[in-house]
């Protein structure tokens, strides 16, 4: 007889909640990357519960993954909203499936709000994910309302983003951005970029106050705009990028006709069970 039976306890709940992992994505030698929590769902959950979990976890993005046939359903939530695309949480999810769960196969496919995305192992410990390529349309710098100071070029990037090119790395690092003023810019994501940086082709900072993020630590989806801009500027389909945030991050991108392959390193910080 089990101990709980001998004590006249009617039952013991031995069911665990959904498993989760805190993963730092796009890390480097001196860069800590961007944290994402990846939650493996054993069953579907209402959207409001997913949003509440993301709010409680409090990282820039929480990724919810669930096996659906031959694909993995993948959704991304900031603490305040669900988003259409998130690069670092996709890389974190790929890391969990390959390195924590040992999912087999040369390619992993994710069903997302941005369409079917794929990921894979690459050389030297890198993981690669395919994200959609964004079209660039040059626009009047006045749309930024002076929030980034003097800028050389400004582009509408896809449906959600703006890419602004500043003079140099020192200018980029010295930007003091007012989130309330930036909130008035008609864009979910504002990417400030410059040529050069610490051992890279391009450096960036990314601001997304409309998504509840004053400044993002490392932004894989920014490569959807940076890679097309780089090939337009220098004719090269590959680009290395440093994100000059407090945590810092390193990304590599390769441009294709319809997509951008974004590569980087990831590491698990901790794992556990979500009692939800």
Q: Which of 10, 29, 49, 61 is catalytic?
A: 61
Helices (H), the chain: 3-6, 47-57, 87-95, 169-173, 179-183, 223-234
Q: For this structure, is 61 an active site residue?
A: yes
3-state secondary structure of 153: strand
Beta bridge partners of 74: 65
Separation in Å, CA 117 to CA 4, 40, 85, 251, 258: 47, 18, 10, 18, 12
CA separation for the pair 87, 78 (Å, rounded): 13
CA separation for the pair 200, 181 (Å, rounded): 30
- Cite the active site residues: 61
């Amino acid at each position: 007889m089990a101990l709980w039976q001998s004590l006249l306890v009617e039952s013991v709940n031995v069911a665990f909640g959904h498993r989760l992992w805190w993963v730092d994505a796009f890390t480097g030698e001196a860069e800590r990357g961007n944290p994402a929590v990846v939650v493996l769902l054993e069953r579907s959950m209402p959207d409001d519960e997913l949003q509440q979990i993301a709010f409680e976890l409090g990282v820039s993005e929480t990724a919810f993954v669930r096996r659906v046939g031959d694909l993995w359903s993948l959704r991304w939530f900031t603490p305040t909203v669900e988003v259409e695309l998130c690069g670092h949480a996709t890389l974190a999810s790929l890391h969990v499936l390959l390195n924590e769960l040992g999912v087999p196969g040369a390619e992993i496919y994710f069903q997302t709000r941005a369409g079917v995305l794929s990921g894979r192992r690459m050389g030297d410990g890198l993981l690669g994910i395919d994200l959609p390529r964004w079209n660039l349309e040059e626009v009047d710098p006045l749309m930024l309302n002076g929030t980034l100071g003097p800028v050389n070029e400004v582009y509408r990037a896809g449906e959600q983003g703006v890419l602004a090119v500043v003079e140099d790395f020192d200018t980029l690092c010295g930007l003091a951005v007012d989130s309330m003023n930036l909130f008035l810019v008609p864009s979910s994501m504002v990417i400030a970029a410059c040529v050069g940086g610490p051992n890279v082709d391009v450096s960036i900072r990314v601001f997304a106050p409309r998504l509840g993020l004053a400044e993002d630590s490392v932004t894989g989806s920014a490569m959807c705009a940076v890679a097309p801009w780089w090939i337009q500027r220098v004719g090269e389909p590959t680009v290395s990028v440093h994100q000059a945030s407090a945590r810092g991050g390193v990304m590599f991108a390769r441009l294709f006709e319809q997509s951008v392959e974004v590569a980087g390193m990831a590491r698990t910080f901790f794992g556990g069970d979500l009692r939800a």
